Amino acid sequence: MKILVTGAKGFIGKNLIAELKNRNYTDIFEYSKETDPNLLDEYCKEADFVFHLAGVNRPIDSAEYMDGNYGFTSILLDTLKKFQNACTVMISSSTQAVLNNPYGISKKASEDLISKYSRETGAKVLVYRFPNVFGKWCKPNYNSAVATFCHNTAHGLPITVNDPSVVMNLIYIDDIVEELINALSDKETRVGDLCEIPIVHTITLGEIVKLISSFKVSREERSIPDMSDAFTKKLYSTYLSYLPDNMFSYDLNMNIDHRGSFTEFIKTPDRGQVSVNISKPGIVKGNHWHHTKNEKFLVVSGRGVIRFRKIDTNEVLEYFVSGEKLEVVDIPTGYTHNIENLGNTDMVTIMWANEYYNPEKPDTIYLEV
């Protein structure tokens, strides 16, 4: 299948083309402002499907809306007609097509034009009215508040919110791409004469800013947002894509003593805490038990033994562990336990606990195994 994508270097076009290639669509005609206009004839002659994503949304002169949206749409459709190519054409419109402003008027005119084209040629057309779109590679300080908020927060720049109660309807770039690729196989989502993206997130500007601000703080607190919430998960991925090139990494606080070190890696509000424990040769750590707190130990380097004793018995259980055979050892409640390094090198253990460490309620009772 030969696919023509107009607006190929734009936000949606760039993401769509990347995923098309990932799914082994190799015949892609990429058309953008930088493309030789003479190539449009060749592309329109050969295309089996057209994703018409090109458009103007922030010109210097409002008259450019009609030229860039309606005008180029007209050129594209006339070129397809010239070669009697009645392939499917998808067009990206906007929810503003119902508004009486220059941008909305130009988008509605483009919709009407492509509907007329469909009646005249019999070609299948797909009209999508996109609301606000967010995700990686979206240009900040242009036409996306989310991109601007993410970029400015990640770069330590101020953001301005005139009314935090404003409600936003947002769609995520990967959801758009998935829908558009489905359309290649006639599996688009239709609602009457229009198509739509099935997943729309509704949230206020104030809530968006609060979430993005929490993402920055999470690096300092070694926490991870609630990934069970679909919007939070998508927004967090978006935020990370705006990190400055020299700020991908961040330090952790290593608690070091003669025995080795203990470092908190990740904290989550609902899935507990992950830490890295390093034990020097011959060192024993632990000798305590918990009422409710439970843990999982995974030795990834070195070798040692994890010992258990039920607090009301004298029987000691031993589990020998090694980085040469990765296995998880559960630490049940009601068992005092310790871990000893039996090797000649540092032993590294990944430790998960079902809750953060709370110094006011540590649930950690000292008792020798």
Q: With contact defined as beta carbons under 8 Å apart, do 235 and 279 qualify?
A: no
Q: With contact defined as beta carbons under 8 Å apart, do 173 and 133 qualify?
A: yes
Query: How far apart, in whole angstroms, are the C-alpha atoms of residue 187 and residue 261?
Result: 55
**207 exposed, middle or buried (CB, 10 Å; 0-12, 13-18, 19+)?**
middle
Q: What's the token pair of residue 120?
A: 């005249």
Q: Determine whether 236 is an active site residue.
A: no
Q: Cα torsion at 282, 288, 290, 296 (round to 10°)?
A: 0
Pairing of strands 49-52, 3-6: parallel
Q: With contact defined as beta carbons under 8 Å apart, do 148 and 178 qualify?
A: no
Q: Which of 31, 70, 103, 239 is catalytic?
A: 103
Query: How far apart, in whole angstroms, are the C-alpha atoms of residue 291 and residue 49?
Result: 62
- Closest Cα to residue 96, out of 109, 77, 114? 109
Query: How far apart, in whole angstroms, are the C-alpha atoms of residue 29 and residue 145?
Result: 30
Active site residues: 103
